[in-house]
């Protein structure tokens, strides 16, 4: 039994495996918020007003993240779409944002 375990352990250590990396929830949220504020259409919809709050409010019907940006006079819903690296490639997931509708 011990030789079999030793062989399995050696195989596991020798065979190449893809690197696994993930951002913490904090940094992933920061990337999403950065994508929201990098979108000029979002800034225009908010009328360049100071932001009061940013909140992840759920999921859109197509499964993407939904965020609400609040200013003094406006609540804007924004869809954030994930763009993971291509199959077989390593790297960080990037995000794009688009306003859903206009300010309420």
Residues 6+ apart with CB under 8 A from 9: none
Residues 6+ apart with CB under 8 A from 25: none
Q: What is the pLDDT along the chain (104 residues), one digit of tens a residue?
A: 566 666 655 555 555 555 445 668 899 999 999 999 999 999 999 999 999 999 999 999 999 999 999 999 999 999 999 999 988 888 889 999 999 999 86
pTM: 0.74
């Amino acid at each position: 039994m011990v030789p079999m375990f030793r062989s399995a352990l050696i195989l596991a250590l020798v065979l190449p495996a893809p690197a696994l990396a993930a951002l913490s929830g904090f940094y992933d949220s920061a990337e999403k918020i950065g994508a929201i504020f990098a979108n000029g259409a979002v800034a225009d919809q908010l009328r360049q007003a100071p932001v009061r709050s940013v909140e992840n409010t759920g999921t859109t019907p197509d499964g993407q993240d939904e965020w609400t940006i609040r200013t003094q006079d406006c609540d804007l819903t924004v869809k954030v779409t994930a763009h993971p690296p291509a199959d077989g490639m390593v790297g960080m997931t990037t995000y794009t944002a688009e306003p859903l509708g206009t300010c309420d």
